[in-house]
Amino acid sequence: MEESGEVIFCLGFDRKEICVIMYLFNKYIKYNRKERRESLEIIISNNANKPIYEQITSQIKAMIMSGELQPGESIPSMRALAKSIHVSVITVQKAYEDLQRDGFIDTAVGRGSFVAAQNRELYQEEQQRIAEEHLQAAAEIGRTNNIPLERLTKILALFYEDVE
> pLDDT by residue (tens digit) across 71-127?
889 999 999 999 999 999 999 999 999 999 988 999 888 889 999 886 667 777 877
Same domain membership, residue 109 and residue 85: yes
Same domain membership, residue 63 and residue 110: yes
**Is the pTM higher than 0.75?**
no
In a domain, 126, yes or no: no
Same domain membership, residue 94 and residue 66: yes
Same domain membership, residue 108 and residue 77: yes
Print the domain residue range for 21: 2-33
In a domain, 157, yes or no: yes
In a domain, 100, yes or no: yes
In a domain, 39, yes or no: no
Same domain membership, residue 111 and residue 136: no
Same domain membership, residue 96 and residue 67: yes
- Note whether 55 and 44 are within 8 A (CB): yes
Percent of the chain topping pLDDT 70: 72
How many separate domains does the chain show? 3
Burial 123-151 (b: 16+ CB within 10 A, else e): beeeeeeeeeeeeeeeeeebeeeeeeeee
